[in-house]
Amino acid sequence: MTLDPLGALQAVARPAAAALRPPRLLLAGAGGALGRAAVEEALARGRYAEVGVLTVAPLQPGLRGLKAVPWTAGGALPPADVAIVVFDRGRDHYGRDEAWHLPEPEDLLALAGGLHAAGVHTLAVLCPVSPSLLPQALQQGLADLDEQAVAALGFERLLFVRPTQDAPRETLASWPERLARWMLSQLRYMIPQREQPVRAAAVVDFVFEVLQQWREAAPGTRVAGAPLLWAAAQAGGSEGVVREWLGDRRPG
């Protein structure tokens, strides 16, 4: 058999070139404060070959580097390397959020499966910053979803971010029950600051810092809760907190 030296060199160079190519990012859930902050941070970082955002209607993004990706549930997703799924709600005054695809909690497993099939190796799932304003499934921080099923899909790196996790609200009929609930609610002001939710901008800064550093750290599945996000949001910045967290090989 005749060896082809040039072909052998090209075969070796292809994986190396793929590793050096900036990753392609795909984002689902650009509506709401958290989703908009994720789009802004992705573009500001400038570390992605392209930033695609799922939409449900024709849209001219008007931002350099941002690509609208029309998509209906069940359809094929475009090739991507990294994906972020944001569960958040909120409408701006200009109706722009109407065009974004806003995933529902029960869609996560199917959406994650489509992303994995599209070549995504790193997936971040962001729960809402203010779940008390959202449907019950989101209030619980996606606790009712089978996150292990998402992990079983085989992502190289999987991150669940829970800025806070409120208990579901109960319907109280009598006034003594309502009065007692109101009195207990005042105790929220006594919650330590490090256990309170942080701003949307701080959450996405943490997420993108993880995505950046994780390429050089051990793969796996991690869960980031409120105390970790609070620590990353302090004056020192998220870089050192993320480096220490990713360097810790114990479960996240």
Residues β-bridged to residue 152: none
Q: Give the CA angle between residues 98, 103, 105 to the nearest 5°.
A: 140
Cα 30 from Cα 91, distance rounded (Å): 11
**pLDDT for 32-88, tens place per residue?**
888 989 999 999 988 899 999 999 877 776 667 788 899 988 889 999 999 999 988
**pLDDT for 12-44, tens place per residue?**
444 444 556 889 999 999 888 889 899 999 999
Q: Which of 16-25, 171-180, 222-231 has the lowest mean pLDDT?
A: 171-180
Cα 130 from Cα 14, distance rounded (Å): 44
Q: Domain extents for the chain?
A: 22-247
The CA–CA distances, whole Å, from 115 to 68, 73, 91, 167, 191 equal 16, 12, 26, 30, 37
Cα 78 from Cα 63, distance rounded (Å): 20
Q: What is the structure's pLDDT at 127?
A: 84
Who has greater pLDDT, 3 or 30? Answer: 30
Residues 6+ apart with CB under 8 A from 142: 87, 105, 108, 125, 127, 160, 162
* Domain 22-247 is found in CATH 3.40.50.720: yes
Q: What is the structure's pLDDT at 41?
A: 93
Q: Which of 213, 237, 203 is nearest to 35 (CA)?
A: 203
